[in-house]
């Protein structure tokens, strides 16, 4: 996929224009625009984006006010053109995007609430996924996505022997449970390790590395996830016996989340082709 003339959406979640995250966002805008991409930024704090998924997200009356079910109600509203305007605006940006960059500081081993709210509200049932269209058969299978984020802890603390545990495990619910679930080709994350705790020269080097990576980001191979046809849908989506038999003598399991009781494959959520 050639980089030029591609549409890029940056979903940005930081309160301060003076932050490292802001600098990382600006770097992406600069480099990708210079490459000929059309770049849009959803600055969630500046937009005062509503983080809570509520009945207010449906224009007009809901189907069942007594027992409001967000997924069902927003699916119907999406089909009928009755989703709240801020949701439809973000869905339009997402539909046009070939690449989505999520730029944020990691909060509590996860996402800032405002970014989680964007995911909860924008990735609605029917629009972003369905029981038939998910994982490698997902709706966004022709789009690429990457998590670009800062940590408050040093890299050594996010290892298999570190106090925070393996970063690959931390990333699994975000990259598999959100991005890959919706079909995205998930690129290796861009992790800025504790930029507020290192020398200015070191943080500048982090941005330079990001700048260099951005130059060929859309040509990168995505991370590997276990395809749906490895699972038996009639038996609770368990790995098929022939898959288990084939993997029985391997040193590592298939992925971080689907490891078959074996050792977790190293860097499965951080590097392509490992």
Phi and psi angles of residue 58, each rounded to the nearest 5 degrees, phi first: -110, 125
Does the predicted model carry a pTM greater than 0.85? yes
Q: How far apart are CA 25 and CA 115, in angstroms?
A: 15
pLDDT tens over the chain, length 274 residues: 444 469 999 999 999 999 999 999 999 999 999 999 999 999 999 999 999 999 999 999 999 999 999 999 999 999 999 999 999 999 999 999 999 999 999 999 999 999 999 999 999 999 999 999 999 999 999 999 999 999 999 999 999 999 999 999 999 999 999 999 999 999 999 999 999 999 999 999 999 999 999 999 999 999 999 999 999 999 999 999 999 999 999 999 999 999 999 999 999 999 986 5
Alpha carbon distance 92, 182 (integer Å): 16
In the prediction, which pLDDT does 76 show?
97
Domains of the chain: 7-221 (3.40.50.360), 224-274 (no CATH)
Query: 110 CB contacts (<8 Å, ≥6 apart)?
Result: 116, 173, 174
List helix spans (H) across the chain: 20-34, 44-47, 70-80, 85-96, 113-122, 167-174, 200-214, 241-247
| Token pair 């040509």 in the structure block, residue | 219
**Quick check: 94 and 41 in contact, CB under 8 A?**
no
Classify residue 120 as exposed, middle or buried by CB count within 10 Å of its CB (0-12, 13-18, 19+): middle
What is the pLDDT, as a whole number, of residue 2? 44
What sign for the dihedral angle of Cα 57, 63, 66, 72? negative
């Amino acid at each position: 996929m050639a980089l030029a003339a591609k549409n890029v959406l940056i979903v940005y979640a930081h309160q301060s224009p003076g932050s490292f995250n802001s600098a990382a966002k600006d770097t992406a805008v600069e480099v990708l625009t210079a490459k000929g991409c059309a770049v849009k930024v959803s600055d969630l704090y500046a937009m005062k984006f509503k983080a809570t998924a509520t009945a207010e997200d449906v224009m007009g009356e809901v189907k069942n006010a007594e027992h409001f079910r967000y997924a069902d109600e927003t699916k119907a509203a999406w089909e009928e053109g009755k989703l709240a305007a801020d949701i439809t605006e973000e869905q339009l940006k997402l539909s046009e995007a070939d690449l989505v960059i999520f730029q944020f500081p990691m909060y509590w081993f996860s996402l800032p609430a405002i970014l989680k709210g964007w995911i909860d509200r924008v990735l609605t049932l029917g629009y972003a996924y369905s029981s038939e269209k998910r994982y490698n058969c997902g709706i966004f299978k022709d789009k690429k996505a990457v998590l670009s984020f800062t940590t408050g802890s040093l890299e050594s603390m996010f290892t298999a022997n570190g106090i925070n545990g393996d970063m690959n495990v931390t990333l699994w619910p975000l990259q598999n449970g959100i991005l890959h679930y919706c079909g995205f080709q998930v690129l290796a994350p861009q992790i800025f390790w504790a930029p507020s705790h290192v020398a200015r020269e070191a943080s500048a080097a982090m941005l330079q590395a990001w700048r260099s990576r951005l130059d060929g980001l859309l040509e990168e191979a995505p991370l590997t996830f276990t395809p749906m046809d490895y699972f038996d849908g009639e038996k609770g989506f368990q790995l098929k016996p022939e898959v288990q038999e084939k993997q029985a003598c391997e040193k590592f399991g298939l992925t971080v989340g689907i490891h078959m009781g074996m050792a977790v494959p190293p860097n499965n959520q951080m590097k392509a082709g490992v």
